[in-house]
Amino acid sequence: MSEELIKITRKTRKKGDDGYKIISVRMKDELIASLDELSSETNRSRNDLINQLLTSAVKIVKIEEQ
């Protein structure tokens, strides 16, 4: 019985090259609970919701001078 080679090509795209980066954020339990409730109601992941909410929020931020 002859051995057959298993050919595996190298992955050209490295982790994170999909346009997303992984970050760590501390949140209060109440905020996480609210996100989980929204997640359940909308059938979307917490990650998806956070991205959508932050995308919307950065568009409406107004910086004021002190």
pTM of structure:
0.68
Domain total for the chain?
1
The label of the residue with tokens 């051995």 reads 3
pLDDT band at 2 (very low <50, low <70, confident <90, very high): low
Residue at 42 is within a domain = yes
Res 23: pLDDT: 94
Residue at 15 is within a domain = no
* 50 CB-near residues (< 8 Å, 6+ apart): 35
Residue at 64 is within a domain = no
Res 24: pLDDT: 96
**Domain containing 41: what range?**
29-58
Query: At residue 10, does pLDDT exceed 60?
Result: yes
**Tens of pLDDT, residues 11-61:** 676 665 778 888 999 999 999 999 999 999 999 999 999 999 999 998 998
Residue at 16 is within a domain = no
